[in-house]
Amino acid sequence: MTAAAHGFALVTPASRGIGFAFAQQLLSQTNLPVVATARKNCDEVRGKLLSCQGVPADAEKRLHILEVDVKDESTISSMADTIRQELPKTPLRLALTVPGILHVEKSPSQIDAANALDSFKVNALGPLLLMKHLSPFLPNKSAPAFPVSEGQLQLPSHAIYAMMAARVGSISDNASGGWYSYRGSKASVYQIAKTFDLYLRGRCADRAIAVALHPGTVKTDFTKEFWKGRDLLEPLDAADRLLRVIAGLRPDVDGGRGRCWDWKGKEVTP
């Protein structure tokens, strides 16, 4: 079995927080090549990932760090070009797209047009453009199945494309209001994941699925203002649990594809 037959994993962005933890887990728990992205300081991110506890020495050869800012589509298409060169004919086996920003708005009067546009660009347009440029790497319906076992993390024989949503993007769960642009932009991730999954059903059949994710409340820079007095998940724990949840989904219609899953394996309805 060639390395290309096992596919590659991708985490974007991986500069810090949950994305960094996903990349660390994939380097330590699988043998796959891992493409990880950052907006800047790629060498620094690479050094930090390689020096993490549990990351084996061979990770140096498997880790590819590329520069991507989701607000600039040219950086996303350059990433795709570089992947084609560095990992020729290698299918995308596991994608985690996680960009996210929050501009807090408690009431409509606090909405600032530039900030709101920024939220939609990163949280909604970002996943959409990543999907555009990464979908060609997913295996077609005639592609051979991936070998099932990969290191400590048992990956299935199909590809998984996961986009980070958030529980607060769920309309049915919204009981407290506020955070208009964050909620609005994250709500669209549920729809994008479902729509992309419908596309994959046609193009890839049971070889690839798309899902949205909710990580729980995780101790990262993102939640810094809300750390006090709360039960928070550590980023590594959240990443590990989410990876296990999505690795357990099946590609049949009732197997969980196209829906949003939390770190406990429970569905978050839109």
Ligand X SMILES: NC(=O)c1ccc[n+]([C@@H]2O[C@H](COP(=O)([O-])OP(=O)(O)OC[C@H]3O[C@@H](n4cnc5c(N)ncnc54)[C@H](OP(=O)(O)O)[C@@H]3O)[C@@H](O)[C@H]2O)c1
Binding of ligand X at residue 187 (CB under 6 A)? no
CA distance 38 to 71: 13
Q: Interacting stretch for ligand X, rule CB under 6 A, among 46-54, 196-204, 221-229, 253-261?
A: 221-229
Identify the sign of the CA torsion 33, 88, 10, 147.
negative
Interaction between residue 15 and ligand X (CB under 6 A):
yes
Tell me, letter by letter, the H, E, C secondary structure of 84-106: HHHCCCCCEEEEEECCCCCCCCC
* Site pattern 85..114 for ligand X (x: CB under 6 A): -------------xxxx-------------
Q: Which residues of 123-137 are buried (b: 16+ CB within 10 A; e: fewer)?
A: bbbbbbbbbebbbeb
CB of 29 to ligand X, least distance (A): 19
Among 78, 82, 223, 255, binds ligand X (CB under 6 A): 223
At its nearest, how many Å lie between ligand X and the CB of residue 20?
A: 7
Scanning the structure block, which residue is given the tokens 């084609």?
Answer: 84
Parallel, antiparallel, or unpaired for β 8-12 and 159-164?
Answer: unpaired
Contact between 71 and ligand X per CB under 6 A: yes
Tally of CA atoms within 13 A in the half-sphere of 74 that contains its CB: 0
- Tell whether residue 13 is a contact of ligand X (CB under 6 A): yes
Size of the site for ligand X (CB under 6 A): 26
- Of the pair 204, 239, the CB lying nearest ligand X is at 239
Cα 147 to Cα 154: distance, rounded to the nearest angstrom: 10
Which residue among 8, 9, 17, 105 contacts ligand X (CB under 6 A)?
17
Which amino acid would we find at residue 245? V
What does DSSP assign to residue 181? H
Question: Taking CB under 6 A as the rule, does residue 218 contact ligand X?
Answer: yes
CB of 205 to ligand X, least distance (A): 29
Chain positions 124 to 163 lying near ligand X, rule: CB under 6 A, are none
Q: How many residues belong to the chain? A: 270
**Can you tell me the distance from the alpha carbon of 137 to that of 200, in angstroms, rounded to the nearest whole number?**
12
In the complex, minimum distance from the CB of residue 101 to ligand X, in angstroms, rounded to a whole number: 5
Provide, rounded to whole angstroms, the least separation between the CB of residue 215 and ligand X: 5
Contact residues for ligand X, defined by CB under 6 A: 13, 15-19, 39, 68-71, 98-101, 122, 164, 166, 214-215, 217-218, 220-223
